[in-house]
């Protein structure tokens, strides 16, 4: 940035030697160059940050497993005996029944709120990228796991989550709260995730 400012100062010096009209034009171009440089740097930093956040699902899945552990519900990560039609496995499943005598299988997805694929949805309403990703996961795993209840855990990069994910978090945090006596578990969980 210092080199750019020196370059800018040099251009201003040269411009002062010309007549007034050229001087104004030179300053305008120098300002445009500096602004575009600043915007490009910020854009690159934002892309790097989003790419780091996109690596979040493994740690998010670890956190979901810890929530089950706090609620004394045993889980199995990436169970080998369960797979969808394309051979992909869910991120985890409970080893005891979750509801109606069926174990719960889940798959964590973190759709990019600002991704080209979702930006037309997220610009209209908050959380639509997570809802769309949840629908896609249900199509993929819904019929592939007939003996289990499937839950897509979808939380967007910028924080909004699918309504079923929020309902699940409320349920698991309520179980943890009953065991620990602390009613702030949902607050802690949502802060940790976002």
Q: Model confidence over 16-59: pLDDT tens digits?
A: 454 455 555 665 555 555 555 555 556 666 665 555 555 455 68
Residues 164-183 pLDDT 10s = 999 999 999 999 999 999 88
Residues 94-108 pLDDT 10s = 999 998 899 999 999
Residues 129-147 pLDDT 10s = 999 999 999 988 877 777 8
Q: How far is the C-alpha of 29 from the C-alpha of 40, rounded, in Å?
A: 16
pTM reported for the whole predicted model: 0.67
80: pLDDT confidence band, cut at 50, 70 and 90?
confident
Q: How far is the C-alpha of 26 from the C-alpha of 158, rounded, in Å?
A: 40
Helix (H) / strand (E) element for 14: namely helix 2-17
Cα Rg, the chain, nearest whole Å: 25
- What per-residue confidence (pLDDT) applies to 97? 94
**Among 134, 140, 108, CA closest to 121:** 134
Q: Which two tokens stand for residue 8?
A: 């800018």
Give the least confident one: 79-83, 92-96, 182-186, 188-192. 79-83
């Amino acid at each position: 940035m210092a080199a750019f400012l020196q370059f800018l100062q040099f251009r201003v010096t040269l411009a002062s030697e010309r007549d007034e009209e050229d001087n104004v034009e030179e300053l305008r171009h120098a300002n445009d160059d500096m602004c575009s440089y600043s915007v490009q740097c910020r854009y690159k930093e934002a892309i790097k940050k989003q790419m780091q956040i996109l690596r979040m699902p493994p740690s998010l899945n670890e956190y979901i497993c810890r929530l089950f552990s706090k609620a004394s519900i045993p889980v199995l990560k990436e169970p080998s005996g369960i797979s969808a039609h394309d051979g992909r496995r869910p991120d985890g499943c409970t080893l005891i029944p979750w509801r109606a005598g069926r174990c719960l299988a889940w798959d964590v997805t973190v759709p990019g709120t600002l991704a080209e694929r979702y930006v037309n949805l997220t610009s209209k309403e908050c959380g639509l990228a997570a809802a769309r990703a949840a629908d896609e996961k249900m199509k993929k795993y819904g019929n592939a796991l007939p003996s289990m209840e499937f839950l897509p855990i979808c939380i967007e990069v910028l924080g909004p989550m699918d309504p079923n994910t929020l309902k699940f978090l409320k349920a698991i945090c309520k179980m943890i709260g009953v065991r620990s006596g602390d009613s702030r578990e949902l607050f802690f969980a949502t802060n940790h995730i976002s």
